[in-house]
Amino acid sequence: MHLKLPKSVTIAEVGPRDGLQNEGIEISTAQKVNLVNCLSQTGLTRIEVTSFTHPSWIPQLKDAEQVMNQIQRKEGVVYSALVPNKKGYERAMACQVDEVVFLLSASETHNLRNVNRTVSESLSELKETSLNIPKDMVRIRGVIAMAFECPFEGKISVDRVIDIGKELKRIGAYEIALADTAGLADPARVFEVFSMVTHELSGICLAGHFHNTYGFGMANVFASLQCGVSVFDGSIGGLGGCPYIPEASGNIATEDIVYMMETMGIETGIELNSLLECGKLTEGLVQKPLTSYLSKQKRIK
């Protein structure tokens, strides 16, 4: 018997957006720019920089334009931003983002709480936004939040995830990330969902976005590897949290994914020591200990 492992994986860094938006402490524009610049030097090829949502929704990311315009772009790195609607898209385009991220939830209740729209209203809005996007210049990445389980609705039907995935593909997404937004999914469930979605959504890249609420994050990465998934979201230092589960730890840490992959002989193209430097920088920004396993090991040494 053999494990099903790829030769290499791609890691998409989401800390500056998904991580910081859940942090209570205010981070200055210069600090955010510094963090993105530091991450650009690690070998990461994808960084989600910010979100062009209305500043009153996410005050932490109100300086999206300034951050996007002030970062030093490194050749070969794709700089993306979350775009919720046409207005956000126009703001993002004025800053020349390389990739726009369309996020909606598979859970009706979560989508209503998150963006005050039904799932179908969100899809219409994203579809309308996509009509303006020059496909040869800007990539669209779809993210389906609560793709496995939801704190309000329980288990999410895989058919629903597949239907939303098909819509995102029709809109023009080249890749779709299935997100365990609240960290409730276990590895068996992740394997089941990814197996079915991979089967139904051919011709599109699938990515995994996991949280560590119950410590299942890395096991979920491994379960999705077994389904052929080779793109994973990570957040530097494990930055972030979950607005629906107070005190829950956040996204799985980029350095933990890199370390696990490299020890298994899977290439990431990322230099671990540079990443740990970014971790130290992050710890200074949020002024609290990081939650990544690797940073804790470093502290013991």
Which parts of this chain interact with Mg ion (CB under 5 A)? 18, 251
Do the strands 78-82 and 175-179 form a parallel or antiparallel pair, or are they unpaired?
A: unpaired
**Shortest distance in whole angstroms from residue 146 CB to Mg ion:** 11
No. of helices (H) and no. of strands (E), the chain: 11, 10
Q: Closer to Mg ion by CB, 213 or 251: give it.
A: 251
Cβ contacts of 198 within 8 Å, gap of 6 or more: 206, 227, 228, 229
In angstroms, the CA 290 to CA 256 distance is 12
Q: Work out how close the CB of 144 gets to Mg ion at its nearest, in angstroms, rounded to a whole number.
A: 12
Shortest approach of Mg ion to residue 182 CB, angstroms?
Answer: 9
Cβ closest to Mg ion, residue 18 vs residue 108: 18
Q: Do 58 and 22 touch, CB atoms closer than 8 A?
A: no
Compare residues 15 and 279 and give the one whose CB is closer to Mg ion: 15
Q: Among 38, 95, 150, 242, which one carries the catalytic annotation?
A: 242
Please report how close the Cβ of residue 220 comes to Mg ion at its closest, in angstroms: 13
Output the smallest distance, CB 181 to Mg ion, in A.
6
- In the complex with Mg ion, which residue's Cβ is closer, 18 or 63? 18
Give the helix ranges, DSSP H, for 73-142. 86-94, 108-115, 119-130
The three state secondary structure string of 203-247 is CCEEEEECECCCCCHHHHHHHHHCCCCCEEEEEHHHCCCCCCCCC
Told to judge if 242 belongs to the known catalytic residues of this protein, a careful annotator would answer yes
As a whole number of angstroms, the distance between CA 177 and CA 165 comes to: 9
CB of 128 to Mg ion, least distance (A): 25
**DSSP per-residue codes, 170-200:** HHT-SEEEEE-TTS---HHHHHHHHHHHHHH
Q: How far is the CB of 189 from Mg ion (least distance, A)?
A: 17
Which residue do the tokens 């365990």 mark? 180
Helix (H, G, I), strand (E, B), or coil: what is residue 24? coil
The Cα–Cα gap between 125 and 86 comes to: 8
**Residue number, 61 or 133, with CB nearest to Mg ion:** 61
Question: Quick one: 43 or 241, whose CB is closer to Mg ion?
Answer: 241
CA distance 213 to 240: 11
Task: For residue 110, give both structure tokens.
Answer: 């979560």
Which residues are CB-contacts of 164 (< 8 A; sequence separation ≥ 6)? 104, 106, 119, 123, 144
Nearer to Mg ion, 165 or 183 (CB): 183
Q: Which amino acids are annotated catalytic? A: 242
